[in-house]
Structure 1
Amino acid sequence: MTIQWFPGHMTRARRQIEDKLKLIDVAIELLDARIPLSSRNPMVDDILQGKPRLVLLNKADLADPAITAEWVQYFADQGLKALPMDASTGTGIKEILPRCKELLSHKIEAQLRKGINPRAIRALIVGIPNVGKSTLINQLAGRKIANTGDKPGVTKGQQWIKFGTDMDLLDTPGILWPKFDDQNVGMKLAATGAIKEEILHLDDIAFHTIRYMIDYYGERLMDRFGIGDLPEDTENPNEVIEVMETIGRKRGCIVSGGRVDLDKTSLLFLRELRSGKLGRVSLEVPPEY
């Protein structure tokens, strides 16, 4: 299955970001801590044109903490500051403004030496759909300003949001890129909910994700779904499908004739993965690890 999702408003959003870039002091790039590389738009480097950048690893409460620590070091090696956080609970939120001021310290100090009182930091927030931008904005504001939802594509336009006297934040719609050269990227994005389910074959997404979990988080599957044994050869698709059918039978996803409803099973599995009921799971590690 080939996964692509690039609605027209994403093209407009890119043009709008580029138009506003001259007003921006710092960019806040929001990634999914479970898939930091796959949730990173490869066009962003070109779009931001070298602006100082803070990377936020959102949904860190759902990611494997040991793997997240490796990602923080990975970004540090790239010359980028990365901050694990959880926009839904507010964990890590208070560190965002100090980190942005640190990135702009030379500019702020130069203004102070000239006797200029630094104005509010103008920050741009960018990220793919459903990565938590609107939730983050509402946490920063302490009230609901931006629309949120558990489906991608909620934010459709730009808006400036003022946070006290220290920061003005430009919210933008989530932007994917026109083509996934690596379909594994598309699978990971789909598994974490960044692509609309209506255009997906959920059984394919669940199949690939369960195969990964058998290899790296097998005990989570066994504990959560009461599975006795897992296959050793995940390259054999029949073995993985057998695990999917076991999950379906354990959860009552049965159709007439006693067959397992793989569509219902897949939806159930993905919902439990996304909600953290399978524990803290990271679906990729830094390239050098």
Structure 2
Amino acid sequence: MPPRSKVNSSLGKAIIRKRFEGKRRPTDRDTELHTTDMDDGPSWTKLQSITQQGDLEEFLHTAELAGTEFTAERQNIKIIAANDQAVNPYLLTATEEAATLQKHREHGDMLRVPRRPLWDATTTAGELHRAERESFMAWRRELALLQEQEGLLLTPFERNLEVWRQLWRVLERSHLVVQIVDARNPLLFRSRDLTAYVAEIDARKRSLLLINKADMLSDAQRGAWADYLDGQGIAYLFFSAKESNARLEEEREREAAARLAQEMALHTAGEDALDGLQDLDALRAREQQHHVRRDHEREAAEAAAAAAAFDASVRAVALSAADLRTRVLQPAELVSILMRECPEIADEHSHGRLMIGLVGYPNVGKSSTINALVGSKKVNVGAMPGKTKHFQTIHLTESVVLCDCPGLVFPTFATTQADMVCNGVLPIDQLREFTGPAGLVARRIPRWALEAIYGIEVRVRPLEEGGSGVPTAEELLTAYAAARGMFKGGEGNPDEARAARVLLKDYVAGKLLYCHAPPTWPTGQAQDFNADHYTRQAVAGRTRHLVEDADGAGFSVRHAASDRNNVKRAIATGGSARVDALDARFFTTGAALAQAQRGAGAHRVTQGRGFAQMQVAVAARSHVGDEGEGRVVGAVEAARLAARAQQAQLAGGKKAHKKKRPGKQRSGQGVYEDMF
């Protein structure tokens, strides 16, 4: 036994007790602390977005929101188990999907936004904090009951109360609340109850839907969505932050090139003038100072000119209702329409300005929209949810202020986990089950378009063998992985999981473009809604693998990435096909099958001393190789095996027992030896 440590083991505990002496966690009865003064951890962790929680994490978080100890309130807390459908990796049939969507429409009014409790000047900070937590707990309880009782699947939604507090502040300050959604699936990212909540706060406030990434929609698709939104009485606008920022970047590059040429000319003229002078260093330093001052003056002048030009372009916008119906607006046009739609409300926050609040899911392009409107990068753009931690105010013009809310995930209905992955709600890098999302991509994107975009050949099961002509997830992923050299280490099979991550990221980014149709679109004709995106001419403009025929009559797909022999062999023997090929080669080959039958018939079993002995009486045996193929043993090796068996029989089955060397006796050994 090792010697006991001389260090006092209670020293560390004493230090910890001393450190937290006199400190305790605030309770509901504490009224002297404000919300931001609560000791809930470091300030940077308070606004961390929380959209997914396990049963234990949700249990502990609910107990923390209740403000009581677990031992006192555990009987009032119920762990909501995940619905079986939430973890179902398979896809729904057309009938099941139609029934699920109908159920979503029936219960759409139950998806509410958490309300901030009423308060006035007499409400203390502690009372407001306690009321907010109780209201938030009641809201989460309603959603949990909705999932449990109705069997509905909800997308991950924001579970951090601090993030919802940021939304409450933005709604209270803003006169016009703009919801920014993704044009590929607007209804998924729109919160219907948010419009009602804005009207509850102040009947004078208005709401508007900004459909971003509208460049991904064709004219016919924008017309279909305009018909639906007009029928529902929803105010909307189409916008593309990506195209606007691209144009701004091109203008900056042209201005930078012109400025560089001008500076080079001035520099050359200055060098010529300085030739022959004595104090060159002092003159160069003075010239550098003048150069810096001129740069600042020029930048200030350019900023003032750009602001004046932008204000002039905003005032010059004159678009009718018919023009706004399907038009993808320019930044100046969008600002003009927002100013026209924003009501003038005098309050303590506005100071005579129009306050426009921007709300939306992460990654729908909210910050990019602000950058396009401002014309300079004043808002950080990030692909991860939660890039904007607190609401920000950006002065757009002298009379318009933008109020940016952190990206917030509202609760929304979903059909399957695979659908949430394809819509960008669930992170792809943390994906474990990939066959469902990959199967959706294979359903939605035509097979020939997948082959043309990636230059691969996707082999599908023939119709006479039960195939449908649509690739399965395994067929698509195997073809892509083999063509890109993605193989599993040690096995040599195509790495389908790695291929799935690449394809799904391309789908979410819009390289594999699919747009959802409005609910009024005829059922079963979703592929017709995307027909304009997958004409031969449209795809040929986006890839080099779809080339026009020599006679100009059509297009053909080049499978350059799948024409190599090793790729064909990997696809042919990938997955279960490899096992089937080995079985067929072993059991159906005439020579191997006959040899196995001959070897089985020649074996005879004799009774030995305490065990059955098998003697080989043939000159050749059939063995199985490392990969399952039949292997025939020659006569020499068979004779050697027979001689070994004969020697074992003559030995009489005796075993040489090695006597155990005496050594140190351990505890318990003597007891077991006496038992036997």
TM-score (norm 1): 0.79
Paired with 2:500 and 2:511, the residues of 1 have a C-alpha distance of 15
Q: What is the DSSP-based 3-state SS (H/G/I as helix, E as strand, rest coil) of the residue aligned with 1:28?
A: strand
Report deviation, 1:119.
4.1
Partner amino acid, structure 2, of 1:197: I
Paired with 1:205 and 1:98, the residues of 2 have a C-alpha distance of 44
Q: What is the DSSP-based 3-state SS (H/G/I as helix, E as strand, rest coil) of the residue aligned with 1:266?
A: helix
Counterpart selection for 2:457 from 219, 227, 246? 227
Paired with 1:200 and 1:146, the residues of 2 have a C-alpha distance of 30
Output aligned runs, 1:8-87, within 5 Å: 8-9=159-160, 11-49=161-199, 51-87=205-241
Residues 238 and 23 of structure 1: CA distance in aligned 2, closer, same or farther (over 3 Å) = closer
Task: Specify the alignment match of 1:271 in structure 2.
Answer: 505
Count of residues paired in the alignment: 273
The structure with the greater share of residues assigned to helix is 2
Partner amino acid, structure 2, of 1:224: I
Note the aligned Cα RMSD (angstroms).
3.3
Write the deviation string for residues 28-57 of structure 1: whole angstroms up to 9, x where unpaired: 110001111112235423442364222111
Write the deviation string for residues 95-135 of structure 1: whole angstroms up to 9, x where unpaired: 3222223324xx56x99xxxxxx943211101111111111
Task: Specify the alignment match of 2:537 in structure 1.
Answer: none
Write the deviation string for residues 205-261 of structure 1: whole angstroms up to 9, x where unpaired: 6324314324xx444223213335667899999833212222222322222433221
Preserved CA contact (<8 Å) 2:436 2:473 = no
Output aligned runs, 1:95-244, within 5 Å: 95-104=333-342, 107=343, 119-178=352-411, 180-184=412-416, 187-201=418-432, 203-204=434-435, 206-214=437-445, 217-225=446-454, 226-227=456-457, 239-244=472-477
Preserved CA contact (<8 Å) 1:253 1:265 = yes
Once the two structures are overlaid, the 10-residue window that deviates more, 40-49 or 245-254, is: 40-49
Task: Specify the alignment match of 1:286 in structure 2.
Answer: 518
Query: Which ranges in structure 1 are unaligned for 5 or more consecutive residues?
Result: 112-117
Task: Specify the alignment match of 1:114 in structure 2.
Answer: none
Quick one: higher RCO (CA 8 Å, sep 6+), 1 or 2? 1
Task: Specify the alignment match of 2:493 in structure 1.
Answer: 259
Residues 222 and 102 of structure 1: CA distance in aligned 2, closer, same or farther (over 3 Å) = same
Q: What is the DSSP-based 3-state SS (H/G/I as helix, E as strand, rest coil) of the residue aligned with 1:37?
A: helix
Partner amino acid, structure 2, of 1:287: P
TM-score (norm 2): 0.36
Write the deviation string for residues 142-164 of structure 1: whole angstroms up to 9, x where unpaired: 11221111222212211111101
Residues 81 and 177 of structure 1: CA distance in aligned 2, closer, same or farther (over 3 Å) = closer
Paired with 2:236 and 2:402, the residues of 1 have a C-alpha distance of 19
Preserved CA contact (<8 Å) 1:245 1:260 = yes
Partner amino acid, structure 2, of 1:96: L
Preserved CA contact (<8 Å) 1:56 1:82 = yes
Report deviation, 1:263.
1.8
Residues 97 and 190 of structure 1: CA distance in aligned 2, closer, same or farther (over 3 Å) = same
Residues 71 and 80 of structure 1: CA distance in aligned 2, closer, same or farther (over 3 Å) = same
Question: Identity percentage over the alignment?
Answer: 24
The structure having more radius of gyration, on CA atoms, is 2
Partner amino acid, structure 1, of 2:405: T
Query: Which ranges in structure 2 are unaligned for 5 or more consecutive residues?
Result: 1-85, 88-153, 245-327, 522-676
Paired with 1:260 and 1:57, the residues of 2 have a C-alpha distance of 39
Partner amino acid, structure 2, of 1:81: A
Q: What is the DSSP-based 3-state SS (H/G/I as helix, E as strand, rest coil) of the residue aligned with 1:269?
A: helix
Residues 198 and 219 of structure 1: CA distance in aligned 2, closer, same or farther (over 3 Å) = closer
